[in-house]
Chains A and B, each alone.
Chain A
Amino acid sequence: MGLIGLQLGTGIWLFILKYGLTPSEVFTYFSGNVELFIMKKSFEGLIETAVPHFMAISLIIFVYAHFLLFTKIISPSQKQFLIFGLFLTASIDIFSPFGMIYGFEFFAWLKVIAFWSFEMLMGLLLYILFLVSLRAKKA
């Protein structure tokens, strides 16, 4: 869990360094800005980042969320919400840049909201698994 926490931490740090914190900064990064000499990102360039993330994030969610199946700390419907939320926010986060390069600023808001939601849900998942491991140790 420490390792995946570090992995998430570097992801957050990279997001802030590369894209910025606000939707307008994120939109500028992807759609470009002539005055700031920022080039618009290409479709092929986005694919290069998106494809490994599809595999990696799906695998990470699968590996960690499947532990929920063995726990009773949250209800089945809460587990479903968490798993669904993780996959949905990750998908929106990965797909959003494709909308931005065609000029739709709305996708910048989607990306920022989806990214931070994903990070919080992953944090919640890791916290639940940590509680479960503590209870297992006490038992």
Chain B
Amino acid sequence: MKFLVSKSLHANPNFILLLGFYSFLLLFYFVGDLFYLGHFFGTDTQMVLSTLQGNEEEFLEPLSLMSLLEHLHIALFLGIMALFTTMAIVLRLNLTKGHKRLIISLSMGTLLLESLALLATYFLNENFVYIFFYGTITWHLVGVYALLLTLKELYWTKRDF
């Protein structure tokens, strides 16, 4: 699987420029998406449950299935693309195999789990909200961590050229 044309992140200055800008801007995606999700669903598990199930006392209607599916459809695509490209870069970082494996499996695993947990919270049992809530935070933070490692290796590591 060769998404990046070169094994060396320092292959040429334009490559560093491309990866640097991409990583920097994608940081805004991972952080900004947390703010968006906090606004859309809520900032704690009870608020998420109120959004999904409605709340009579606060006159909140439950989230419709159509809205939930639309959110999931779009969020999954963005998450897959963001993580897939970030992990393609992680594969080329100067880290141990175990470290890379941890970053990749934790981020992509929690993305899958939280997406399923969102559906499970809606249809099955409200206790799945904890997996959704903490899973969402986890993959976003792992994404940020991976991008910070990338920027560190691009700009604070000895260059070959």
Residues of chain A touching chain B, judged by Cβ–Cβ distance below 8 Å, are 2-4, 6-7, 10-11, 13-14, 17-18, 56, 59-60, 63, 67, 70
Contact = CB atoms under 8 A, between A and B. Distances in A.
Interface in B81-118: 81, 84, 108, 111-112, 115-116
B70 A14 contact: yes
A87 to B, nearest CB: 18
28 contacts: A2-B112, A3-B79, A3-B108, A3-B111, A3-B112, A3-B115, A4-B80, A6-B76, A6-B112, A6-B115, A6-B116, A7-B73, A7-B76, A7-B77, A10-B69, A10-B72, A10-B73, A10-B76, A11-B73, A14-B69, A14-B70, A14-B73, A17-B65, A17-B69, A18-B66, A59-B81, A60-B77, A70-B1
Interface of B: 1, 65-66, 69-70, 72-73, 76-77, 79-81, 84, 108, 111-112, 115-116
A4 B79 CA distance: 11
A10 B76 CA distance: 9
B79 to A, nearest CB: 8
A11 to B, nearest CB: 6
B143 to A, nearest CB: 14
A82 B119 CA distance: 31
Q: Decide if the interface of chain B is mainly helix, strand, loop or mixed.
A: helix
Contacts of A63: 84
A14 B66 contact: yes
A106 B65 CA distance: 30
Contacts of A18: 66
Nearest to B80: A3
A18 B70 CA distance: 11
Most buried by B among A10, A13, A17, A63: A10
Contact of B66 (A2, A6, A11, A17): A17
Contact of A7 (B65, B70, B80): B80
Contacts of B65: 17
Most buried by A among B70, B72, B79: B72
